[in-house]
Structure 1
């Protein structure tokens, strides 16, 4: 049975969060003399002299309408990376606790663990890039606070079997963090729908991928109200700037455009897979539920270097365990994909 008080860091239980001027007064006024801001404005066309909403309510309200969860179940971070870091700082005692990672997976989980002095216990995915449930069970001890699962997975592109994730949620007393950065491209439904079922579930999503807002740095975490309250207590007071909030709100009103991009990306992904299969140096292309594909080749580094010379940048993942000989290729525009294929046709 999950009990947040059993995994929360003792110092976080006692933490009195910083109270900003915008926390102490909520509403509209004609004169603001409470936050030591520049009263004369900004040297820009848009005035950014006032501090932003520390809890980003308008953005959360719009996300609530799109995602079907209340604003109180949403945390916004400076990218998903901030949400990951806040989870470590909230629930893991440095030098004592551990988390479980399932490589090959997103590298920031391990970086954040190392920054926070948290042990990482790695349980490799199976050969078909699925969870090794037996290995995970053996790795868990009384100091295991979180399990990170990326689905669709980066860099492999595949979705993790839903039943396996549910098995962990039902049997693990810590947090199961499901990172859905690429969920918009997947055939699998989001785990957000399971928040009321599992109190220990945290779902990460982002506006950086399908929504095309990587430069704004807006990440999302969805969880129970008590987990979100802890994360809001630990985060910096104004972690999402006003420009990002305004532009995110504007973007969230353009769902039809984003959906058309997703559809085109999937079409281009299928087309690119078929074209790449014609090359002798391509040994395998793994099934993908993301906006990229993992391609096993006869010489990943040589192909990577050749493409760099042509002004085309892909990702060499050949040194990642279980991804030997592999390149990760993002799905581009039709013109970009054609440029890639034309370049590879001249590769010796």
Structure 2
């Protein structure tokens, strides 16, 4: 519906709807069908250009306006080219029409020609798409949760007992006058219920659509009880054959089925139809993003109306300039762009015929590259983490503060490559995760060690770290391999006073009852917090790490990151786990309880000299006969991490299930 041929055809449909030779009407008349409103309640965050509406005199809504694009049936209007904008302006002058409106243009489109011609943007909500990479119930479960899925299925079953579901190609409407008449009547009633008087979905428009290019791909769907039509709408298959646009629907609100939320039930039916037809997505149109999320939408493309009106000045808009890269970016990184396809990750491709990737079209869908726009998954991730204890204030972060990586380890490599140049120092605090220093040396970065102090190896020597004047300081908290937490006051002081970057690896923080440092990212542009879904969330196989940092730092990391590293399968697994949190959160509580039980059992064991306190899902244990005990455990088929080279005479024991832990204690007794 974004091809020029489709847009031209839809211009004729609009003329038919208006009973006019030209697509000219007032914005008040067209208002609801293209989402024009004066409020700021689209739920998609701050409204860009809202002051443009406020600057309009009331008469502007009634003033004759030339409508560009394909309203009201088109999901969006492609941003017109410079020649097309010039033609719009000339046509408006020839028609003596003072205003021009190009409705619902994707913010990711090139809108330079519109700006140059004096058009002003006004936020129009978001284009909402439900992608269907698997069976409908599986997809919805990991989007909206098991409870919402049960509710959708219940409504669908109740409605399906009473109403039929029929699809009629528009080319066959001539022989089904009842469907045509019911569609028009229901849409007229809908407009009147909204306070309007003229429905753009009238008989003339429907006939024009049936004889248009997109009309060949369009069907009417009808739900009826015996001979009474209760609901009618339009569906159009995309020109690339991969999805369905849900163009419009209207319902008889006096029917009992409407009280069971017929709209939701019909959308669920539509998802089933799309999946059974081998389609990959359903386009819900533009509107309220939070509501669409509850319906399973996972792709949201911000839209703007573009208006050219007398006396309307172009306001200064946030986001017009490219975001400034962090000053912590290495000079070599600051001079290069984000590589290849990742640069255009916010430009949707779902409704294009994509011939740019050189993949095998006969082995789809596996041949498609992974989705690069993970903003919605980032929003889900932040919402889930914000609800955890110790994460107050995390809701101040946006998806621009988050980057998914191939495990937290990949995040370490990325940040060292993007933010430090050869010769600049990296500070680590042994005993700690060994790959920090390993990656630094691979990248020719000198490593400065400032050991942790104290009996529990959890005292940070902040003054020595600051004196090292490192480009990057990496802290592991909870510590691996020790399991202890650092003093939060010293950590905050270090972040505030450091002239370099401070990286805090929180791979095990979900097992701790002490707060996360992630909310501090909103206040410190030199702080990076790393998280992983491999540990507490049980997704080691999905390889998903998370870097939280100032957006300028995230942009620097993107310039180093290899595109397409976060596979679709991993994205689906992550969304499922972060949406349905009951099991993982329950398992974290079980691990904490089992950790405490095992700590007591090991502390009382004759083979053990000391058990270090732990805020992780493992225990660091000092053994009386370290080497002999580790070898005996290995001989008994039990593998623990030998950490004697980091902390003398120790091993690190992961907390397993009851059977595994019992086997360890039995083998340890045999070895003593």
Q: Shorter-normalised TM-score: what interval?
A: over 0.9
CA distance in 2: counterparts of 1:150 and 1:342, whole angstroms:
32
The aligned residue for residue 132 of structure 1 is 461
- Determine which of 195, 205, 221 is the counterpart of 2:547: 221
- Determine which of 385, 406, 409 is the counterpart of 1:81: 409
The aligned residue for residue 510 of structure 2 is 184
CA distance in 1: counterparts of 2:669 and 2:340, whole angstroms:
60
- Determine which of 225, 233, 238 is the counterpart of 2:564: 238
Contact 1:48 1:242 in 2 (8 A): no
Q: Could you give the per-residue CA deviations for residues 135-192 of structure 1, whole angstroms, max 9, x where no partner exists?
A: 213322xxx2111000000000001111111111110011110100000001111111
Q: CA deviation at 1:22?
A: 8.1
Q: CA deviation at 1:41?
A: 2.3
Q: Could you give the per-residue CA deviations for residues 171-226 of structure 1, whole angstroms, max 9, x where no partner exists?
A: 00111101000000011111111112211110000000001111111100001111
Q: Could you give the per-residue CA deviations for residues 223-274 of structure 1, whole angstroms, max 9, x where no partner exists?
A: 1111111111221111211211122112222211111100000111111111
Q: CA deviation at 1:335?
A: 1.0
The aligned residue for residue 91 of structure 1 is 419
- Cα distance change, pair 5–261 in 1 and its aligned pair in 2 (3 A): closer
The aligned residue for residue 260 of structure 1 is 586
Give the paired residue count.
336
Q: CA deviation at 1:38?
A: 1.4
Q: Could you give the per-residue CA deviations for residues 44-101 of structure 1, whole angstroms, max 9, x where no partner exists?
A: xxx321111224233212112213331111011111111111111111111x201110
Contact 2:326 2:556 in 1 (8 A): no
Paired residues for 1:95-110 under 5 Å: 96-110=423-437
**Is 1:208 aligned with 2:534?**
yes
Contact 2:342 2:372 in 1 (8 A): no
Contact 2:495 2:526 in 1 (8 A): yes
SS in 2 for 1:318: coil
SS in 2 for 1:205: strand
**Is 1:330 aligned with 2:654?**
yes
**Is 1:31 aligned with 2:353?**
yes
Paired residues for 1:1-348 under 5 Å: 6-20=327-341, 23=344, 25-29=347-351, 31-42=353-364, 47-67=365-385, 68=395, 69-94=397-422, 96-127=423-454, 128-129=456-457, 130-140=459-469, 144-320=470-646, 323-348=647-672
Q: In terms of Rg, which structure is larger?
A: 2
SS in 2 for 1:319: coil
Contact 1:75 1:222 in 2 (8 A): yes
Moved more, 19-28 or 174-183: 19-28
CA distance in 2: counterparts of 1:4 and 1:71, whole angstroms:
16
Q: Which runs of 4+ in 1 moved over 4 A?
A: 3-6
Q: Which runs of 5+ in 1 are unaligned?
A: none
- Cα distance change, pair 120–48 in 1 and its aligned pair in 2 (3 A): same
Contact 1:21 1:35 in 2 (8 A): no
- Cα distance change, pair 137–16 in 1 and its aligned pair in 2 (3 A): closer
Structure 1 vs Structure 2 CA RMSD: 1.7
Contact 2:607 2:669 in 1 (8 A): no
Q: Of the two structures, which has the highest relative contact order with CA contacts closer than 8 Å and spacing of 6 or more? A: 1
User: What TM-score do you get using the length of structure 1 for normalisation?
Assistant: 0.92
Contact 1:22 1:54 in 2 (8 A): no
Q: Which runs of 5+ in 2 are unaligned?
A: 1-323, 386-394
SS in 2 for 1:346: helix
CA distance in 2: counterparts of 1:173 and 1:53, whole angstroms:
36
Q: CA deviation at 1:327?
A: 1.0
Contact 1:54 1:239 in 2 (8 A): no
Q: CA deviation at 1:27?
A: 4.1
Contact 1:79 1:219 in 2 (8 A): yes
CA distance in 2: counterparts of 1:6 and 1:71, whole angstroms:
20
Q: CA deviation at 1:4?
A: 7.2
Contact 2:477 2:486 in 1 (8 A): yes
Contact 1:97 1:118 in 2 (8 A): yes
- Cα distance change, pair 21–188 in 1 and its aligned pair in 2 (3 A): closer
- Cα distance change, pair 175–4 in 1 and its aligned pair in 2 (3 A): farther
Q: CA deviation at 1:112?
A: 0.8
SS in 2 for 1:87: helix
